[in-house]
Amino acid sequence: MSAEAFGRYLPATVTLDDLAAMNTADRYGHRYELSPEGALSVMPPADSDHAAIASRLFAWLVLAGWPADQILQAVGVKLPGPNGDGGRISDLTLWSAPQARSVWLPLTDLLLAVEIVSPGSAVMDEVVKVREYAAAGIPRYWMVERDAAQTVTLHVLGADGAYEVAAKMPLAWLLQTKPADHRLGG
């Protein structure tokens, strides 16, 4: 579909059902997301380096004892908004309990959202999602940079409802710790 056709057939108000259909239909791997205020975002497809980082974090959590059905990759999360729900697709999420099968999961039981920063998603991950995830009350948000060290910034929700940086370290260092060291339990 051309960009012109895409714009012509886009509904006046995009819903989470629309996003699910768009994500399913996109043959190039783009992710369509919706802010809590209703702004549509198109995220670039992930590359192999992105997938390797997500796999390393997944394996770290599994080896630490987290059940695989509580560590989800690229799952939609509902973010409440003023006129309906928005939806973001985190690269990795950690849940305190297994989740029911759904395209868009509620925030209940969500312990951690992880975003792996890609060149096309830097502003979204470093500015927009930090604000949105904190406003939604997600207890922890980790950002993995694509620099040489694969620097991980660990955000913890503060008493004022904003994220505080709890630590910043190379991914290799993080993977030498235990999830419990970061108050993830497990």
- Structure token pair of residue 75: 């799952």
pLDDT at 178 over 80: yes
pTM for the model stands at 0.92
Sign for the pseudo-dihedral over CA of 53, 57, 60, 65 = negative
Sign for the pseudo-dihedral over CA of 133, 136, 137, 138 = negative
* Residue type present at position 51: A
Position 1 scores a pLDDT of: 58
What CATH topology corresponds to 46-182? tt1808, chain A (3.90.1570)
Report the distance separating Cα 184 and Cα 38, nearest Å: 31
- Give the start-to-end residue ranges of the domains of the chain: 46-182
List, for residues 19-77, the tens digit of each pLDDT value. 999 999 999 888 999 999 999 999 888 899 999 999 999 999 999 999 999 999 999 99
Strand partners, 78: 87
List, for residues 134-164, the tens digit of each pLDDT value. 999 999 999 999 999 999 999 999 999 999 9
Element (H, E) at 54: helix 48-63
